[in-house]
């Protein structure tokens, strides 16, 4: 054969070899969940009943042979309790659970790629219920409504109504098991406020007043001036949640199902061109001036560090600060209060602010409309609908075991777990909190603030429609970052958010998104 | 005791210039070392101490703790060891393969003339496009690609032979390096789909193959310059003596190219060792590598500096050891010796 | 297969379009000599095909798939994922639509200095082109390519001027990336070369220095990002006392776009100088010392020996590392992402970072579109670089 012909053939032969190699690669997929377990016999469908109380000492056999993969983010938080309690569950049920921990930034992509391409290497997820919009529509998540209702281990009635009926549901059905109660609260230095006879902030105006008072003073006795307010402003971190939290009280006043992101009649962005957003942006920027000079590059890790070392009078955060304070300067000096509200509220038809009265703000306390914001929504367990049935049963049982009061009432008191309270029993029973190192006063104060928030009917759900990450982490985050960096003014920022959100809505389909938004808010009992 | 800055040969610097050079090097050494030192001390701090402000010297201004080391090495245990072993295997095997394939290709591009004809290349691209369109229109992938290959072969043997214009070696080399232009983010999803199809997701083999392919062009380009700078006389005389190309490469070219080979090896080893995005997409549990562990220390609570410091330190240790072992090969002695011998 | 019987192969075309005729002839003669070696045929193909095939296998599919992704929108549906074809929407949004202020930047009228820069660039480019056209050395196709290259250069300069040297303009990720690449590579090359020259001298501790200088490269880029985040923290980082001593307690670099970009460039330089260093070090070590010694003995000055012996020997490898650094530098992502998330605002957002942020929210279409625009930009820059710089200093480009 002439060489010239060989030359033209060579790449073709190579390609054929490669393709043949691809075609004949029939080795068992290493990522496929090990389905080599003895089937149904040992994993009866009655798993939904979920009575895993095997006698102590005797290894359970309910899920003997089941081997499940749970995807979550690698801790130390969140993965820690899962990994710590997995052996106990394995002893109870005979199953094996494999915690696959990946970085926080990548769970969403990883889970969605895995489910959408049919790889299905995970049987369950511990992730953000915010993503339900992307997962429930295409049918990637198993409907857990019946299981949760009839599961004595889970004791669903103990879960606070907001997390039970709103946060873990989509279109009226339960798709997740709450493991963590996430909502934002304001923390203050109780020693300072007590010394000066000040009340914790009720409104954001109070917040700014207090922040201004303490800014520049030495708050921890080390001789250097400290800060009035430490709020994360970093791009690509938490700032988009913070602005939503500040604006929430201006945007939503008539209960969770009113929604704070879009007008449920026409899908117009509420975090857009209106006076409420202008006021919220100005408040956020003003709070930043009472913070550290490099606040623009501070994420929540930074603000927590500053607060626990006594360098801040006020901060805005999830429940974690309360459980992280023990052992730091802020121990027994930390007070928590429901996130401040506003005495006015947006009139959605005019885009102007109107004063709060019993009609406009039916749930106001002392004339202040609070709207606690469940930013992120709390880590929740979900089950892959495409996993083998036996694995679904086992994955559900493990997640339910984690959420069961016996386990979770301990876990939510430990700073290292990253879990915050979400059950009634968790803030009525203070014993585990005292055991975790909080004083009685701190426990009462912390649980009181949580109770105030959780019992508020005007709780704000985080955005849970398809492409939620594009709305919040792309458009909103970029616009806020540009505003805080003084690249744009209020008007341009609002316009950018509004235009960006409308662009996504149009691309996905306005009717579809409106229906999804209403589904995500709706509770059909 | 002799003066360490004395002048040793005619090409050597004067003592004063040498001392100045030493000072400059010392300054840069401090610039390099200080951040590493900071990692080192941070790995012995508690989270609270990191938050409180800068502390510099263990036992003097803060009480060191082994918490972070314990957490990474003992508490995480297998979750640290598994990625570590993966990183070692993937890094070494992919860079050795890349060095082997790449330096052979580089040598070929320097010493041989290739003339891939424009027409054949064009036909190849057209056939690939054909295969893709067929696949997108619904043909099964194997049939789509099979027919693409068939079309290519038929056309190449008929029309293709009529083309005379050809590319040269430099075009091949540029095509190789141009494969690195597209950022990994753009190829992440296609690569994921590719390896999903062959059931190699979460398998270190997929990482090795990908890293060899991404690092090959670097080796080719670096080694091309080395081979080109070698004197031809040795090879020519060996050829005249009847040695085969394989023998010439093995016993003449490679030995005198050791400085270049070592430098290239270290560079591609480091690239493979530290690659993040492809590893992120292709692995989930069993095949995770260390860069993922480092990145994952940025949690919802902000970066876990202490744990991250430990991970970075244990990650660079083997590479630095390798560099110490290989550094002496990047010296002139060997080359000069080989040329004279 | 043992012999080459293709008539075309016996008449190798001049492999080098430009470069000195003398060297070209030498190359051809050498090639022909080696071409007569035994088992040449097998080696010819065995040496190069594995590399080419591997890269083909792993590059063609992603390349084509990415194009498909960039003109569509990813949608999830029952039982899978599908691509909705959206035409050039992703590109349109980036270049002219809502995302253009982030990608291209905010364009405003140039300042007088800006006008001067634009006019100077246009004038010089035009003059160079006219000279090439008059010289008669360049073929028509070359002239057209040069014209296009010149237009592209002018376009880029106008973009830089209207975002940087204008009232109220703001650079987008394209301009930010170009700044990072230009300044970063210049710094890295100068530092790397200087250190390599010093490290080949017979100074004390030279082995220690050589290994130490390599270390920054060995740290995973993500890790370096976090390390620099620690170093640059002015309230609890190690430089805090210096910062306070300078009276800068209430001052921070993170709010100023240019200080933030400088911080990114410093981090990038710390990381990549070792790359230049090690390659140049190996090249310097390979230099024939006897030639240098002979020159010095003959009375040449140290500078002359550097200028006439060292520099020419380093040129080929210099152009290679600069090309590699151009290609890698345009992909800068970890340092700006970790230091500032691309902030303040979007001041340090590079193209790859923008693509990554889009990808992270599964806006795969936009991410692929940015990547393709980056591919086009870098291809133009790299091709121009290879044909105008590299081919002048080496036999093979």
Q: Does A474 touch chain C (CB under 8 A)?
A: yes
- pLDDT over 90 for what percent of chain B? 31
Report the CATH fold assignment for A63-181+377-435.
Answer: D-Maltodextrin-Binding Protein; domain 2 (3.40.190)
Distance (Å, whole) CA A519 – CA A507: 19
User: The tokens of A451 are what?
Assistant: 């109770």
- For residue A232, give the chain B residue with the closest CA: B302
Architecture of domain B72-114+185-341: Orthogonal Bundle (1.10)
Quickly state the pLDDT bin for B10 (edges 50, 70, 90): low
Name the domain boundary from C133, C168, C203.
C168
Kindly list the partner chains of chain B, i.e. chains with 3 or more CB atom pairs below 8 Å: A, C
Distance (Å, whole) CA B90 – CA B287: 10
Q: Where are the domains of chain A?
A: 63-181+377-435, 185-374+441-521
CB A129 within 8 A of CB A109: no
Residue from B200, B249, B199, B198 nearest B226 by CA: B249
CA distance C355 to chain A (A): 11
Q: Does C378 touch chain A (CB under 8 A)?
A: no
User: The tokens of B74 are what?
Assistant: 């003992």
| Residue C80 within any structural domain of the chain | no
Report the CATH fold assignment for A185-374+441-521.
Answer: D-Maltodextrin-Binding Protein; domain 2 (3.40.190)
Q: How close are the terminal C-alpha atoms of chain A, in Å?
A: 78
CB contact under 8 A, C78 and A139: yes
Q: What's the CATH number where C356 sits?
A: 1.10.3720.10
Question: What is the residue-wise DSSP string for A461-481?
Answer: EPP-STTHHIIIIIIIHHHHH
Distance (Å, whole) CA A299 – CA A289: 16
Ordered alpha helix ranges (H), C104-139 = 112-135
Range of weakest confidence among A180-189, A405-414, B246-255, C109-118: B246-255
CB contact under 8 A, A301 and B302: yes
CB B236 within 8 A of CB B196: no
Q: Is the ipTM of this complex over 0.95?
A: no
Question: What is the residue-wise DSSP string for C268-312?
Answer: HHHHHHHHHHHHHHHHHHHS-HHHHHHHHHTT--HHHHIIIIIHH
Residue from C102, A25, C289 nearest B194 by CA: A25
Q: Are residues C268 and C298 in the same domain?
A: yes
CA distance B10 to chain C (A): 7
From chain B, the residues in CB contact with A25 under 8 A are 198-200
Backbone Cα Rg of chain C: 25
Distance (Å, whole) CA A24 – CA A26: 6
Q: Are residues C192 and C321 in the same domain?
A: yes
User: The tokens of A7 are what?
Assistant: 């030359």
Residue from A298, A332, A276 nearest A229 by CA: A298
Predicted confidence pLDDT, tens digits, chain C (397 residues): 333 333 333 333 334 333 333 344 344 444 444 444 444 677 888 888 999 999 988 888 888 888 888 998 888 777 677 788 888 999 999 999 889 989 999 999 999 999 999 999 999 999 989 988 888 777 888 888 888 989 999 999 999 999 999 888 899 999 999 999 999 999 999 999 999 999 988 888 888 998 899 899 899 999 999 999 988 888 788 888 888 888 887 788 888 999 999 999 999 999 999 999 988 988 888 776 777 778 877 888 888 888 888 888 888 888 889 999 999 999 999 999 999 888 798 999 999 999 999 988 888 899 999 999 999 999 999 988 888 887 777 655 4
Instruction: Show the domain range for C286.
Output: 172-393
User: The tokens of C104 are what?
Assistant: 């291209």
Q: Are residues C115 and C198 in the same domain?
A: no
From chain A, the residues in CB contact with B152 under 8 A are 12
| Residue C226 within any structural domain of the chain | yes
Name the domain boundary from C118, C137, C168.
C168
With 60 as the cut, is the pLDDT of residue A489 above it? yes
CB contact under 8 A, A301 and B153: no
| Residue C39 within any structural domain of the chain | no
CA distance C330 to chain A (A): 21
Asked if the domains A63-181+377-435 and A185-374+441-521 are classified in one and the same CATH topology, the answer is: yes
| Residue C345 within any structural domain of the chain | yes
For B158, residues 6+ apart whose C-beta sits below 8 A from its C-beta are none
User: For every residue of B309-329, which 3-state class applies, written as one string?
Assistant: HHHHHHHHHHHHHHHHHHHCC
Three-state SS at A101: strand
From chain B, the residues in CB contact with C289 under 8 A are 11, 332, 336
Q: Does B147 touch chain A (CB under 8 A)?
A: no
Quickly state the pLDDT bin for B257 (edges 50, 70, 90): confident
CB contact under 8 A, A297 and C358: no
CATH 1.10.3720.10 location in chain B? 72-114+185-341
Residue from C228, C218, C236 nearest B31 by CA: C228
CB A465 within 8 A of CB A137: no
CB A165 within 8 A of CB A156: no
Q: Are residues C246 and C137 in the same domain?
A: no
Three-state SS at A185: strand
Distance (Å, whole) CA B51 – CA C302: 53
CA distance C156 to chain B (A): 19
From chain A, the residues in CB contact with B51 under 8 A are 304-306, 308-309
Nearest-CB residue to C221 (from B25, B35, B274): B274
Nearest-CB residue to B152 (from A12, A29, A376): A12
Buried b (16+ CB within 10 A) or exposed e, A371-389: bbbbbbbbbbbbbbbbbbe
| Residue C193 within any structural domain of the chain | yes
Backbone angles phi, psi at C72, to 5 degrees: -145, 180
| Residue C43 within any structural domain of the chain | no
Distance (Å, whole) CA B202 – CA A33: 12
User: For every residue of C154-177, which 3-state class applies, written as one string?
Assistant: HHHHHHHHHHHCECCCEECHHHHH
Q: Does C241 touch chain A (CB under 8 A)?
A: no
Q: Are residues C135 and C182 in the same domain?
A: no
Q: Are residues C229 and C144 in the same domain?
A: no
| Residue C20 within any structural domain of the chain | no
Number of domains in chain C: 2
Q: Are residues C201 and C347 in the same domain?
A: yes
CB A317 within 8 A of CB A304: yes
Please state whether C247 falls in left (phi above 0), alpha (psi between -120 and 50) or beta: left
Interface test with C, best of A107, A216, A235 (most C CBs within 10 A): A235
């Amino acid at each position: 054969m002439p060489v010239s012909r060989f030359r033209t053939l060579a790449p073709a032969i190579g390609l054929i070899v490669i393709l043949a190699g691809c075609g004949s690669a029939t080795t068992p997929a290493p990522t496929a969940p090990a389905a080599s377990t003895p089937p149904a016999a040992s994993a009866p469908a009655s798993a939904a009943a979920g009575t895993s109380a095997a006698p102590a000492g005797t290894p359970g056999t309910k899920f003997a042979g089941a081997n499940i993969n749970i995807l979550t983010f690698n801790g130390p938080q969140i993965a820690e309790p899962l990994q710590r309690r997995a052996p106990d569950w394995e002893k109870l049920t005979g199953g094996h659970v494999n915690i696959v921990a990946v970085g926080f930034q990548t769970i969403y992509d990883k889970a969605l790629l895995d489910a959408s391409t049919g790889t299905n290497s995970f049987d369950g997820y511990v992730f953000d219920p915010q993503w339900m919009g992307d997962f429930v529509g295409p049918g990637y998540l198993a409907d857990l409504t019946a299981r949760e209702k009839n599961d004595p281990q889970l004791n669903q009635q103990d879960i606070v109504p907001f997390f039970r009926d709103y946060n873990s549901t989509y279109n009226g059905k339960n798709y997740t098991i709450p493991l963590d109660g996430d909502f934002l609260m304001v923390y203050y230095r109780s020693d300072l406020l007590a010394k000066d006879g000040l009340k914790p902030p009720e409104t954001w105006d109070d917040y700014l007043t207090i922040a201004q008072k303490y800014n520049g003073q030495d708050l921890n006795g080390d001789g250097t001036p400290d800060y009035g307010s430490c709020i994360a402003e970093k791009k690509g971190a938490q700032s988009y949640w913070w602005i939503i939290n500040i604006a929430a009280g201006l945007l939503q006043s008539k209960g969770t199902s009113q929604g704070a992101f879009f007008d449920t009649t026409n899908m117009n962005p509420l975090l857009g061109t209106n006076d409420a957003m202008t006021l919220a942006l100005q408040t956020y920027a003003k709070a930043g001036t009472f913070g550290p000079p490099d606040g623009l590059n501070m994420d929540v890790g930074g603000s927590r560090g500053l607060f626990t070392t006594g360098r801040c009078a006020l901060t805005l955060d999830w429940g974690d600060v309360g459980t992280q304070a023990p052992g730091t300067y802020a121990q027994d000096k930390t007070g928590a209060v429901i996130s401040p509200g506003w005495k006015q509220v947006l009139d959605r038809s005019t885009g102007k602010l109107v004063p709060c009265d019993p009609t406009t703000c039916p749930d106001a306390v002392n004339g202040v409309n609070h709207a606690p914001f469940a930013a992120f929504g709390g880590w929740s367990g979900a089950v892959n609908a495409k996993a083998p049935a036996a694995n679904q049963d086992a994955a559900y049982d493990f997640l339910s075991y984690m959420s069961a009061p016996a386990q979770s009432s301990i876990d939510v008191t430990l700073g290292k777990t990253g879990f915050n309270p979400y059950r009634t029993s968790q803030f009525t029973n203070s014993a585990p909190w005292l055991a975790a190192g909080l004083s009685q006063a701190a426990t009462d104060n912390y649980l009181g603030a949580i109770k105030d928030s959780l019992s508020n009917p005007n709780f704000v759900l985080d955005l849970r429609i398809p492409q939620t990450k594009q709305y919040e982490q792309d458009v909103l985050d970029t616009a806020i970052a540009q505003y805080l960096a003084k690249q744009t003014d209020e008007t341009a920022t609002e316009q950018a958010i509004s235009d960006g959100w409308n662009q996504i809505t149009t691309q996905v389909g306005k009717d579809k998104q409106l229906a999804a938004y209403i589904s995500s808010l709706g509770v059909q009992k | 005791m002799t003066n360490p800055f004395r002048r040793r040969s005619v090409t050597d610097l004067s003592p004063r210039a040498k001392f100045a050079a030493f000072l400059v090097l010392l300054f840069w050494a401090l610039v390099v070392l200080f951040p590493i030192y900071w990692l080192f001390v941070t790995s012995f701090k508690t989270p609270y101490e990191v938050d409180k402000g800068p502390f510099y010297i263990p036992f003097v201004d803060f009480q060191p703790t082994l918490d972070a080391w314990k957490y990474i090495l003992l508490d995480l245990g297998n979750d640290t060891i598994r990625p570590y072993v993966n990183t070692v295997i993937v890094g070494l095997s992919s860079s050795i393969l890349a060095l082997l394939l790449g330096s052979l290709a580089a040598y070929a591009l320097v010493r041989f003339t290739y003339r891939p004809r424009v027409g054949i290349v064009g036909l190849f691209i057209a056939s690939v496009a054909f295969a893709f369109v067929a696949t997108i229109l619904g043909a099964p992938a194997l049939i789509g690609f099979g027919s693409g290959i068939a079309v290519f072969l038929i056309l190449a043997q008929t029309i293709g032979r009529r083309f005379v214009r050809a590319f040269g070696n430099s075009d091949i080399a540029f095509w190789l390096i141009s494969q690195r232009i597209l950022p990994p983010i753009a190829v992440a999803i296609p690569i994921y789909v590719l390896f999903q199809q062959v059931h190699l997701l979460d398998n270190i083999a997929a990482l090795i193959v990908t890293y060899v392919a991404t690092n090959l062009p670097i080796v080719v380009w670096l080694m091309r310059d080395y081979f080109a700078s070698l004197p031809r006389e040795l090879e020519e005389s060996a050829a005249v003596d009847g040695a085969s190309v394989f023998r010439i490469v093995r016993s003449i070219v490679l030995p005198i190219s050791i400085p270049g080979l070592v430098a290239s090896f270290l560079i591609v080893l480091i690239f493979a060792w530290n690659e993040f995005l492809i590893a992120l997409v292709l692995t989930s549990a069993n095949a995770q590598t260390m860069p993922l562990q480092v990145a994952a220390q940025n949690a919802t609570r902000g970066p876990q500096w202490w744990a991250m410091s430990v991970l970075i330190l244990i990650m660079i240790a083997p590479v630095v050891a390798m560099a110490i072992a290989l550094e002496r090969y990047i010296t002139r002695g060997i080359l000069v010796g080989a040329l004279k011998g | 297969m043992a012999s080459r019987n293709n008539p075309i192969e016996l008449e190798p075309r001049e492999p080098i379009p430009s470069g000195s005729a003398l060297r070209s002839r030498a190359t051809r003669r050498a090639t022909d000599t080696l071409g007569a070696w035994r088992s040449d045929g097998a080696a010819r193909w065995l040496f190069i095909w594995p590399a080419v095939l591997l890269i083909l296998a792993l590059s063609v599919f992603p390349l084509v798939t990415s194009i498909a992704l960039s003109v569509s929108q990813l949608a999830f549906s029952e039982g899978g994922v599908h691509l909705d074809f959206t035409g050039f929407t992703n590109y349109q949004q980036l270049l002219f639509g809502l995302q253009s202020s982030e990608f291209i930047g905010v364009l405003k009228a140039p300042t007088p200095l800006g006008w001067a820069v634009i006019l100077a660039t246009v004038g010089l480019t035009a003059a160079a082109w006219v000279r090439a056209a008059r010289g008669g050395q360049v073929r028509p196709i070359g002239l057209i390519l040069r014209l296009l290259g010149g237009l592209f250069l002018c376009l880029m300069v106008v973009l830089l001027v209207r975002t940087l040297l204008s009232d109220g303009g703001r650079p987008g990720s394209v301009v930010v990336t170009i700044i990072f690449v230009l300044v970063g590579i210049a710094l890295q090359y100068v530092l790397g070369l200087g250190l390599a020259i010093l490290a080949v001298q017979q100074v004390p501790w030279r082995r220690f220095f050589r290994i130490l200088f390599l270390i920054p490269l060995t740290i995973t880029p993500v890790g370096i990002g976090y390390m620099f985040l620690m170093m640059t923290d002015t309230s609890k980082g190690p430089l805090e006392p210096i910062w306070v001593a300078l009276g800068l307690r209430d001052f921070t670099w993170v709010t100023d776009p240019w200080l933030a970009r400088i911080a990114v460039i410093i981090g990038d330089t710390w990381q990549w100088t070792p790359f230049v260093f090690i390659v140049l070090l190996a090249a310097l070590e390979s230099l024939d010392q006897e030639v240098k010694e002979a020159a010095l003995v003959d009375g040449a000055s140290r500078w002359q020996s550097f200028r006439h012996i060292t520099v020419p020997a380093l040129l080929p490898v210099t152009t290679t590392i600069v090309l590699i650094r151009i290609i890698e530098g345009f992909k800068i992502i970890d340092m700006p992402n970790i230091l500032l998330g691309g902030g303040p605002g979007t001041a340090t957002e590079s193209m790859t970072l923008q693509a990554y942020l889009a990808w992270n929210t599964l806006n795969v279409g936009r991410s692929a579109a940015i990547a393709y625009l980056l591919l086009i930009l870098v291809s133009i820059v790299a091709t121009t670089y290879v044909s105008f710089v590299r081919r002048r200093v080496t036999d093979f480009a």
